[in-house]
Structure 1
Amino acid sequence: MKKYIKNISFSQVPALKVGKIILILVFSITLGILIALVVILLIQSPGKMEPLTDKNGNVIKGSISEKVYVKINGVRMGMVIKSKNKSNPVLLFVHGGPGMPEYPLTKTYPTGLEEYFTVVWWDQRGAGLSYSSNISAKAMTTKQFVDDTIEITKYLRKHFGQDKIYLMGHSWGSYIAIQAAAKSPDLYKAYIGVGQISNQMESEKIAYKYMLNYYKGIGDEKTIKKLESTPIETMDYLPDAYNKIRDDVMHRSGIGTTHKMNSVVTGIFMPVMLNREYTLREKINIWIGKAFSNSTVLRDELYKTDLRNSITKLDIPVYFFSGIYDYTVNYSMSEAYLKKISAPVKGFYLFKESAHTPIFEEPEKVLQIIQNDVLKCRNDLADAY
């Protein structure tokens, strides 16, 4: 028998059987890799909130680090609350997207905001911790999100015993948050817009032109062809074909989430999946929620709105943070928009090493501005451009 096995030729095995063997091997290896990845992700996803500690690893007395759920306008919504001192003023962070919670990214890109605020990283209706298959797509409207922001604010005021709180909106979140601030200014001490939206369709066209010039400059003919096949400069909406390439071409040209983020896979997807404070189910819900949010009317409403015509007055201090490399939401448009807004205090800050997210890219400068200007509500910034 041993001699027979040694002398058998592989060519003697019928081709069909060889094919089956190869398929079985490939399937087994793929299955093994998938099982290993799931095990790793489960180990990496205990979902327990990590306490805030000092340099010696001791839990900071009076700090807060918790995951909270509360029913707002009929929907169970989740949020992460972090603060080194729970008596700090409350800051409600309204994330981008639609449907992209940003707290899971803060392990990779720490902001330090918890030093001065009790930061509430709220996951909006249909997103992340607030995702549910029972949420009606019909309720996913701009008006509903503005109302949700106001109701979350009221809950936080009561919960923390503070008459007014600070409001920060990023990207898509700035589109929602500034409307909430205009509608209910009595709830807020100040509004901070990070990558502040004004007219997003116009901004997209500026970015498109920038990217065409960028890729022509480096001789990337393949990307040029992709861009030229979807000429959004002549459109009043973003076609699906452009949306499929948008994130990739923006990040590779340095004008995406951060100036140095070349890939959303390594820069966003992996940080989310490796965050230990979310369970695997919660992480999966982030991506399901993002897809769901973008399948509703929210994006259409965003691209059809020009805030420069609808929100031109705020009765509270207003501060805009923009990165000089930001073409996701064009920084020059944000600056021009703030000049048009009537407010008791205004401040525009341009970050020279940032693209779309200065709070991730230049957190120390952000904290300096917050400490020196925002918290002190300086009143000499109205013409400081």
Structure 2
Amino acid sequence: MFRRKTARIKTENGIAELKAIAIGGVQQWISIRGEDKRMPVLLFLHGGPGTSQMALIGDYQEELEKHFIVVNWDQRGAGLSYTKQVTKESMTIKQFLNDTIELTNYLRKEFQQEKIYIVGHSWGTILGLLAINEHPELYHHYFGVSQVLSMSKVEELSYRLILEKARKHNHRKAIIQLTEMGKPPWTSLKYNRIHQKYLEIFKSGISRDGILLKTFVKKMFKSSEYTFLDMIRFIKGQYFSNKNLMDEVRSLDLSEIIRIVKVPITLMVGRHDLTTPAEPTKIWFDLLQAKDKEWVWFEHSAHSPLFEENQKFIDLVLAKAGSQ
């Protein structure tokens, strides 16, 4: 609880590191774990903005560590990378994209690999898609989990669909609260919390079972990667990241600027996800020009298929990596 560390990996060629490196002119933290450091690199781009997963993903990636060097990164302003070094002026999509490419090149050099694999979740899918669009030569395969193309469009659609659910279930309190606050974007965090509350109540939010968020909190408390003070840092980083990045994120629509991808792409979508409803993404995906693309439904998931149906996620990543 008082000193950051990552658990040892006891194989001859294993690697287990938790460290800060300079990315984009500021110190940012990464964890690097794998049973054999000669294996390909798999980089995770967490959601949010600001929702680091480094302290909670350990149990979910153990099998991947047998086949990859698994890298988790607390993006600037998030988790361990929330520091006074990070200015609000630096919280731009362009800077985050530059950070992603810089980290990619660091990992390529560190492990002497021409290309790496990349996984984006939610907000991380915006970064992932931009990265493969700008530098396709750096990546073997892109895995987009709960892909976002236009945050403003999915937020508005999410609101409309959850209000429809409330009416279908005759949930009077939900109907009143959702109607009174109106459609997004909202100026008050209170409205975001109300919206999120009903996503969870109607089993369409972070997870279908509604308990994944509590599981994450428990895992964070038990994590060796985060101290108690780091948990406070995590909360501050979420607020900082959302406050200083979300307006620009809402103004972006990747469906208008990316219609061709040169990297194999697999999208993994929770059937019950109303946080980022799939309809607009599926329309874009069906028209997308790509040498190799696949859309995979996760039938028992909402917004977090990589955690909710973890084994299916792992099997799919291994199958795609094995076919490269």
In the superposition, the TM-score normalised over structure 2's length comes to: 0.93
Alignment of 1:176-191 (within 5 A): 176-191=127-142
Percent identity, aligned pairs only?
33
Q: CA RMSD in A?
A: 1.9
Instruction: Measure the CA separation in 2 of the matches of 1:274 and 1:368.
Output: 27
- Report if aligned partners of 2:18, 2:225 keep a CA contact under 8 Å in 1: no
User: Partners of 2:98 and 2:253 in 1: how far apart?
Assistant: 19
Which one-letter code corresponds to 1:160 in the other structure?
F
Q: Which of the pair has more CA radius of gyration?
A: 1
Shift of 1:123: 0.7
Aligned to 1:21: none
With a CA cutoff of 8 Å and minimum separation of 6, indicate the structure with the bigger relative contact order.
Answer: 2
Cα separation, 2, equivalents of 1:157 and 1:143: 21
User: What does the per-residue CA deviation read over 1:311-341, in whole Å, with 9 as the maximum and x for residues that have no partner?
Assistant: 1122111111111011111123322222232
1:105 is paired with a residue whose SS is coil
**Corresponding position: 1:246 with 2:195:** yes
Mapped partners of 2:299, 2:76: distance in 1? 33
Matched, 1:272 2:220: yes
- Give the gaps of 5 or more residues in structure 2: none
Alpha-carbon deviations, 1:88-147, whole Å to 9, x = none?
Answer: 110111110111111222246556322322111011011112111231100100010001
| Aligned CA distance change for structure 1 residues 102 and 182 (closer, same or farther; 3 Å) | same
Aligned in 2, Cα 1:198/1:111: closer, same or farther, shift over 3 Å? farther
Change (3 A) 1:86 1:201: same
Separation of aligned partners in 1, 2:260 and 2:291: 10
Q: 1:354–1:362: 8 Å Cα contact kept in structure 2?
A: yes
**What amino acid maps onto 1:130 in structure 2?**
S
| 8 Å Cα contact 1:248/1:263 also seen in 2 | no
Q: How does 1:1-385 map to 2 (within 5 A)?
A: 42=1, 46-52=3-9, 59-107=10-58, 109-110=60-61, 112-232=63-183, 237-240=185-188, 241-262=190-211, 264=213, 266-296=214-244, 298-377=245-324
1:108–1:333 distance in 2 versus 1, CA, 3 Å: farther
1 CA distance for matches of 2:288 and 2:225?
Answer: 39
Instruction: Name the residue aligned to 1:7.
Output: none
Displacement of 1:263: 7.4
TM-score norm. by structure 1 comes to 0.79
Moved over 3 A (4+): 107-112, 267-270
